[in-house]
């Protein structure tokens, strides 16, 4: 893909915003541990700004403080760590090695082409930057199973 994919939304009115992306497009070329996605399935509301960059990877910027639910589903060509980071500057560092305060949580797939899922609900502040953060590694033969969803504020 050339150029960024950017989402915005409408929303408000008590309905939580939601961004759901899927189909892995590897990782950013500069931020080598940050996931990229090819498809925006849902982008509703104005509380989350989604941007996908070939160099920086996918970012989800929080525009309204509150409690958010996040789910990261992954599948790799080998067992691998993945998770969700907040405001991390260690974007070329494995999720398993970044500062614990930047890591909202992580999990590990058990083998090649074995899917895994990790979810967390927690309060986020305006301008927090959320990322699907991995240990790098290649996508499986089923990249469509790599998805990320964020919903909020709840």
Enclosing domain of residue 79: 5-152
pLDDT of residue 3: 44
Q: What is the count of structural domains for the chain? A: 1
Question: Which CATH number fits the domain that encloses residue 104?
Answer: 2.60.120.40
What are the pLDDT digits (tens) for 5-24? 444 444 445 799 999 999 98
> Coil, strand, or helix at residue 12?
strand
CA distance from start to end of the chain: 33
- 35 touches 134 (CB < 8 A): yes
Tokens for 149, please give them. 């969803």
Cβ contacts of residue 142 below 8 Å, gap of 6+?
A: 75, 113
0.85 exceeded by the pTM?
A: yes
pLDDT of residue 1: 37
What are the pLDDT digits (tens) for 67-115? 999 999 998 889 999 999 999 999 999 999 999 999 999 999 999 888 8
- 44 touches 71 (CB < 8 A): no
pLDDT of residue 13: 54
Tokens for 134, please give them. 């991995």
Tell me the mean pLDDT in the region 18-46. 95
Which pLDDT band, with edges at 50, 70 and 90, does 144 fall under?
A: confident
Tell me the mean pLDDT in the region 16-39. 95
């Amino acid at each position: 893909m050339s150029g960024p994919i950017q989402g915005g939304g409408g929303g408000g009115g008590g309905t939580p915003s939601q961004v759901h992306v899927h189909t892995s497009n590897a990782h950013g070329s500069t931020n080598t541990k940050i996931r990229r996605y090819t498809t925006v399935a849902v982008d509703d509301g104005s509380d989350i700004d989604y941007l996908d960059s070939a160099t920086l990877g996918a970012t989800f910027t929080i525009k309204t403080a509150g409690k958010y639910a996040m789910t990261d589903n992954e599948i790799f060509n080998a067992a691998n760590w993945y998770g969700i980071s907040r405001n991390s500057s260690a974007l070329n560092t494995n999720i398993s090695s970044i500062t614990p305060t930047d890591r909202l949580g992580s999990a590990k797939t058990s083998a090649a082409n074995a899917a895994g899922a990790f979810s967390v609900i927690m309060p986020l502040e305006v301008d927090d930057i959320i990322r699907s953060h991995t240990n790098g590694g290649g996508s499986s033969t089923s990249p469509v199973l790599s998805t990320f969803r964020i919903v909020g504020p709840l």
